[in-house]
Amino acid sequence: MKIVAKIAELKEILNEYRDQGKSIGLVPTMGALHQGHISLVKRCIQDNDCCVVSVFVNPTQFNDKNDLKHYPRTPKEDCALLESVGCSIVFIPEVEEMYPEEDNRIFDLGSAAEVMEGRFRPGHFNGVAQIVSKLFYAVEPNKAYFGEKDFQQIAVIRAMERQIKTGVEIIDVPIVREDDGLAMSSRNRRLTESQRKNAPKIWETLSKSYNFAKDHSVEETTNFVIDTLNKIPEFKVEYYEIVDGDTLQPIKDWIETKRPVGCIATFCGEIRLIDNITYSVK
C-alpha cells in the first residue's frame, strides 16, 4: 500500500494504473476509520483494480470550528487498518496541499442541499462539494463510494456531479451499525460512558417508528421520534424530518413518495449524531 501526501505524486501513480487499462475507485473519508468506512473500502476493492482512500479532515465543511478542533485524528491506525484490508493507495494530504489558496467556489447544489443539514449547518455542503470535487479532479476515479449514513450528502454529491460532469459514478453503500444499533461514526468515540449507553436509543426509536408509521400520519410519526428522544437525558433533537428519498424534500403525506426516509440530527451532550431510516408504508 502506498501512502501519498501530494497530488502530483498521486496523479503520477494513478496514470500508470490508467495506462494499463485498470479501473480506479475512490473512498473519501475524514479518517478515524471504523467498520462503516471499511465497508466502503471493501466494496471499492471488490469493484476496482485500484482502491484509493483519502483521509483528510476538510476544514471548509465545518461550520462549527470547535467540532473541527476536536475531530478525532488517528492517521497511523487508519493506515494500518487500510493496509490490512488491501487498500492500494492512501491519500493523506496537508490542508495546504488541498487549499493552497482560499477556495471561493460556490456550487449550485439545488433544493436537496437546502433542507435539514443544509439549514442547520450553513456552508457545510458547499465545503463538501469543494473537497469532493478537488478529490475527483485529483484522482479521476471511475467510481466513488459514499455511505448512506450521510443520506443527504449522497444526493448533494450527485447534484454536484451533475454540475461538474467529471463522469464519476457515485455508488451508495448501506449504513453499518454497532451490535447495539448505533450507527458507526468517528464522533462516537467522543461520547462519555453514559452518553454512549443512551446513544443506541436513536436507532431503537427510529426502528419503533417504522411500525408506528403504519397506522399514523407523517406528522404523528415525526413527533413520536422527537418526543421520545427528547425525554432522554442529554438528548436534544435538532431536526427529525421525513422526506422523499430522491428529492430530500419534506413530505406531509405518506402517499407523496414511494421512498419515505426519516432523517435525524440530535445532540447527545455536545456531540451531534445523525442517522436515518427508510419507511415502508402502504
Q: Given the rule CB under 6 A, which residues bind ligand AMP?
A: 29-30, 36-37, 39-40, 146-147, 149-150, 173, 175-176, 183-186
Nearer to ligand AMP, 79 or 175 (CB): 175
Q: Tell me if residue 216 is catalytic.
A: no
Find the shortest distance in angstroms from Cβ 140 to ligand AMP.
Answer: 19
Find the shortest distance in angstroms from Cβ 40 to ligand AMP.
Answer: 5
- Cα separation of 145 and 40, whole Å? 6
Which residue lies nearest ligand AMP, judged by its C-beta? Answer: 147
Catalytic residue among 37, 70, 124, 216: 37
Find the shortest distance in angstroms from Cβ 56 to ligand AMP.
Answer: 9
- Cα separation of 251 and 64, whole Å? 29
Indicate the SS3 state at residue 229: helix
- Largest Cα–Cα distance in the chain? 58
- Cα separation of 275 and 175, whole Å? 9
Nearer to ligand AMP, 241 or 275 (CB): 275
Nearer to ligand AMP, 88 or 186 (CB): 186
Element (H, E) at 275: strand 271-278
Find the shortest distance in angstroms from Cβ 186 to ligand AMP.
Answer: 5
259: how many CB neighbours lie within 10 A of its CB?
12
CB 89 within 8 Å of CB 51: yes
Q: Which residues pair with 26 in a beta bridge?
A: 52, 144
Find the shortest distance in angstroms from Cβ 28 to ligand AMP.
Answer: 6
Residue 141: half-sphere exposure toward Cβ, Cα within 13 Å: 28
DSSP state of 168: P
Nearer to ligand AMP, 175 or 243 (CB): 175
Nearer to ligand AMP, 184 or 229 (CB): 184
Residues known to be catalytic: 37
